Amino acid sequence: MALRVTGMPIPALSRPMVVLVDDDPAVTHAVQFSFDLEGLEVRSYRDAESLLANPVLPENGCLVIDQNLPGMSGLSLLERLREEGVQLPAILITTNPRAALRDRAATAGIPIVEKPLLTDALLTTVRTALSRSA
């Protein structure tokens, strides 16, 4: 089944959607909590396969994907989504990214935010991505 961006109606007052893929429940909970306070809706998945099994993505939103997922890596997932025609802005999160990963992400136009997520860098990057896609 091919992935597709849905044409599901999004009410004018709906909150922007962040699709988070991270296998760490603590990270998922923290991101959901802080983004909810900022008026963002978060839909989370524990791995690439869980996201790929759900072929419907929001028409407007942002992808936040951990690089070190079980199974398929975050960047490989993003490459797969792009092959399927998904053009949502994306952000990669990871700890201590190597130069090769930074180069691949930069070539793909995907910013990296480093873990631990102790500052507002992820929120700022998400807000920038959402404003560019609006």
Whole-number pLDDT of residue 132: 84
* pLDDT tier at 59, thresholds 50, 70, 90: confident
What CA dihedral angle connects 27, 6, 87 and 49, to 10 degrees?
Answer: 50
9-58: pLDDT as tens digits = 444 447 889 999 999 999 999 999 999 999 999 999 999 999 999 867 88
What is residue 5's predicted lDDT score, i.e. its pLDDT? Answer: 52
Token pair belonging to 103: 């180069």
> What does the alpha-carbon distance between residue 49 and residue 122 come to, in Å, rounded to a whole number?
23
Q: What is the DSSP letter of 67?
A: S
pTM: 0.88
Strand spans (E) along the chain: 4-5, 17-21, 41-45, 56-57, 61-66, 90-94, 112-114
For residue 111, the number of C-alpha atoms closer than 13 Å in the C-beta half-sphere is 16
